[in-house]
Amino acid sequence: MASRDEVLAALAKVSGPDGRTPLPQSDSISGLTIREDSKVFLAILIDPAKAKAMEPMRASAEAAIKAIPGVTGAVVTLTAESARSAAGGGAQQPAHGHAHGRAAGRGTPIPGVKRIVAVASGKGGVGKSTVSCNLAVALAQLGWKVGVLDADVYGPSMPKLFGLTQKPGLGPDGQKLVPLEAYGVKVMSIGFMIDEGAPVIWRGPMVMSALNQLLREVLWGELDVLIVDMPPGTGDTQLTMAQNVPLTGAVIVSTPQDLALIDARRGVAMFKQVQIPLLGVVENMSTFICPNCGTRSDIFGHGGARREAEKLGAPFLGELPLDMAVRERSDDGRPVVATLSGSPQAAAYLDIAHRVMESLEAGATARPAPRIRFA
Ligand code: ADP
């Protein structure tokens, strides 16, 4: 496996954003991750206005890393640095001396957005998007200002889950998009811009630039938390996103099946690799309660996620039943937390929201990521 020193030595031959200073000394490297399979992920902070001009630098850095013997691949991304936050005008306060203090998200914070939380899963179909939606509504009900960013660009589901069909308009500056709003939550999704069912073919760099736009070219206003619904899985796209979005923490959704847990473990490992604090694990589709007779059946087994979370040292955030009302209402754009208030289903999401809120209030606040500086 290539070492960090080898990667930095190779990057010394590439000039940084100013066209002169070698990349390792340029104060622009915001993330360097070497995965166990010897694939290297690098994020370089740039002024977004110069993104086109920076492409040759990005390509040279990628080529330089790929040329290192033993490296199996390289993904180099450009991440945004707005003039405002570059000048120190970000809205976030640095957090001191708390449990999550060591780990900072990557990329420049979004002015006005206090915390950004990724909801992720090791694989698709485990209910990650349903959890993102209901968790957001629950946090709003608990009094927070909440936004949801649908980063699942391959299968955006927030328009359906929130029952939103309009297209977002432009704000007063004629540049940034105004997020749509439902159930007290501001929502932005690539799904608002493309037709449902239309196939979208994304190449890696397009995904990142779409995500950066959804994150930074949107008038989020003041938010206590922005929930990011990640694409399922733990591949290159997910790692690159985790590296480029200034995440405060991550929530992993898993079903109780063993296979899903193996996948969930990969999710935990990925966030560890990029030093994002794990807020906890949610077990979804945990138990089935028969709507006719009330009998409880553990269709996929039960308790696996709790045991697994304990083994990984991650907090267990709670379990959600496999429930017909959740499925039906999700498909209709009527999240249970909002439309079945007082029900046990809504209570289960609210419990999880409480724990997430507590954990975030206890420490994790988004802040400018320390640039990695190599003397
Ligand atoms: P993912 O984002 O992980 O791909 P989704 O949130 O899209 O998963 O959920 C997949 C399907 O499972 C959807 O039809 C959704 O309505 C359903 N679903 C999710 N959670 C539950 C639950 N707790 N009970 C019943 N159905 C659920």
Q: What is the pLDDT of residue 199?
A: 62
Instruction: State the distance from the centre of ligand 1 to the C-alpha of 272, rounded, in angstroms.
Output: 26
Instruction: State the distance from the centre of ligand 1 to the C-alpha of 75, rounded, in angstroms.
Output: 31
Of ligand 1's listed atoms, the one at least distance from the Cα of 229 is 2
Closest Cα to atom 17, ligand 1: which residue?
A: 327
Convert the pLDDT of each residue in 192-247 to its tens digit.
887 766 666 666 667 777 888 889 899 999 999 999 999 999 888 888 888 888 89
Choosing among 3.10.580.10, 3.40.50.2300, 3.30.70.260, 3.30.300.130, the CATH entry for 4-83 is 3.30.300.130
Instruction: Quickly list H helices, the chain.
Output: 4-11, 51-66, 83-86, 128-141, 158-161, 204-216, 236-244, 258-273, 304-312, 324-331, 336-339, 344-362
Our answer on whether the CB atom of 284 is closer than 6 Å to any ligand 1 atom is: yes
> Which residues in the chain come in under a pLDDT of 70?
81-107, 196-205, 258-259, 364-375
Closest Cα to atom 23, ligand 1: which residue?
A: 322
Instruction: State the distance from the centre of ligand 1 to the C-alpha of 126, rounded, in angstroms.
Output: 6
Closest Cα to atom 15, ligand 1: which residue?
A: 327
Closest Cα to atom 26, ligand 1: which residue?
A: 327
Q: What is the pLDDT of residue 12?
A: 96
What 289-293 contacts at long range (C-beta under 8 Å, 24+ apart), as own/partner pairs, is 289/321, 289/323, 291/324
Convert the pLDDT of each residue in 154-201 to its tens digit.
889 999 999 999 999 999 988 899 999 999 999 999 888 877 666 666
Closest Cα to atom 12, ligand 1: which residue?
A: 127
**Contact between residue 120 and residue 252 where contact means Cβ atoms under 8 Å apart:** yes
Please state, in angstroms and rounded to a whole number, the distance separating the CA atoms of residues 100 and 33. 19
Q: What is the pLDDT of residue 204?
A: 65
The number of residues in the chain equals: 375
Domains of the chain, by residue range, sit at 4-83, 116-361
Instruction: State the distance from the centre of ligand 1 to the C-alpha of 328, rounded, in angstroms.
Output: 10
Q: What is the pTM of this model?
A: 0.82
Our answer on whether the CB atom of 286 is closer than 6 Å to any ligand 1 atom is: no
Q: Which residues are CB-contacts of 97 (< 8 A; sequence separation ≥ 6)? A: none
Please state, in angstroms and rounded to a whole number, the distance separating the CA atoms of residues 154 and 364. 29
**Contact between residue 37 and residue 363 where contact means Cβ atoms under 8 Å apart:** no
Of ligand 1's listed atoms, the one at least distance from the Cα of 324 is 25
Of ligand 1's listed atoms, the one at least distance from the Cα of 121 is 3
Of 72, 55, 73, give the one whose Cα is nearest residue 14.
Answer: 55
* 15, 61, 95, 170, 266 from 46: Cα distances, Å: 13, 14, 24, 25, 30
Our answer on whether the CB atom of 323 is closer than 6 Å to any ligand 1 atom is: yes
**Contact between residue 346 and residue 132 where contact means Cβ atoms under 8 Å apart:** no
Our answer on whether the CB atom of 161 is closer than 6 Å to any ligand 1 atom is: no
∠ CA(270), CA(125), CA(132), 5° rounding?
A: 70
Of ligand 1's listed atoms, the one at least distance from the Cα of 130 is 6
Domain 116-361 top-level CATH class: alpha beta
Our answer on whether the CB atom of 132 is closer than 6 Å to any ligand 1 atom is: no
Our answer on whether the CB atom of 363 is closer than 6 Å to any ligand 1 atom is: no
Of 241, 190, 206, 212, give the one whose Cα is nearest residue 46.
Answer: 212
